[in-house]
Homo-oligomer: A and B are copies of this chain.
Amino acid sequence: MMKTFIFSFLLLVSLTTFSQTSDEAMIKQIFDQALSKGKSYEMLYDLSVNVGPRLSGSPGAAAGVEWSRNEMKQLGFDSVWLQPVMVPHWVRGEKEIGRIISKRAGTVTANVCALGGSIGTGSSGISASVIEVKNFDELKALGTKGVQGKIIFFNRAMDPTKINTFGGYGGAVDQRANGASEAAKLGAIAVLVRSMGSNLEDYPHTGGMRYAPNVPKIPALAISTRHAELLSQHLKDEKDLTFYMENHSETLEDAPSFNVIGEIKGSEFPNEIIVVGGHLDSWDLGQGAHDDGAGCVQSIEVLRLFKQLGYQPKRTIRAVMFMNEENGLRGGIKYAEEAERKKEKHIAAIESDRGGFVPRGFTVPTEAKAKERVRSWKPLLDPYGLSDFSQEGGGADIGPLAPQGVALIGFLPDSQRYFDYHHTGEDTIDKVNKRELELGSASMAALVYLIDKYGLK
Kindly state the separation between the CA atoms of A433 and B198 in the bound complex, as whole angstroms: 11
**Closest Cβ of chain B: how far from A134's Cβ, in Å?**
16
Known: A9-B2, A160-B435, A163-B383. A416 touches B31 (CB 8 A): no
> How many of chain A's residues touch chain B, expressed as a range?
20 to 34
User: A161 touching B36 by the CB < 8 A rule?
Assistant: yes
Kindly identify, within residues 53 to 67 of chain A, every residue whose CB is under 8 Å from any CB belonging to chain B. none
Kindly state the separation between the CA atoms of A163 and B383 in the bound complex, as whole angstroms: 8
Interface bits A335-351 vs B (CB < 8 Å: 1, else 0): 00000000000000000
Query: A414: CB under 8 A from chain B?
Result: yes
Q: A37 — nearest CB in chain B belongs to which residue?
A: B160
A residues within 8 Å of B by Cβ?
2, 6, 9, 31-32, 35-36, 160-161, 163, 165, 198-199, 358, 360, 383-385, 387-388, 414, 416-417, 420, 433-436, 439
Q: A36 — nearest CB in chain B belongs to which residue?
A: B160
Can you name 8 extra interface pairs (CB under 8 A) apart from A35-B160, A165-B435? Answer: A6-B9, A31-B161, A36-B161, A163-B383, A199-B434, A360-B385, A416-B433, A416-B435
**Closest Cβ of chain B: how far from A422's Cβ, in Å?**
14
Known: A36-B160, A161-B32. A414 touches B414 (CB 8 A): yes
User: B358 touching A416 by the CB < 8 A rule?
Assistant: yes
**Closest Cβ of chain B: how far from A309's Cβ, in Å?**
14
User: A163 touching B385 by the CB < 8 A rule?
Assistant: yes
Chain B residues with CB under 8 A of A434: 199
Chain B residues with CB under 8 A of A387: 387-388
Kindly state the separation between the CA atoms of A420 and B358 in the bound complex, as whole angstroms: 15
Chain B residues with CB under 8 A of A160: 35-36, 435
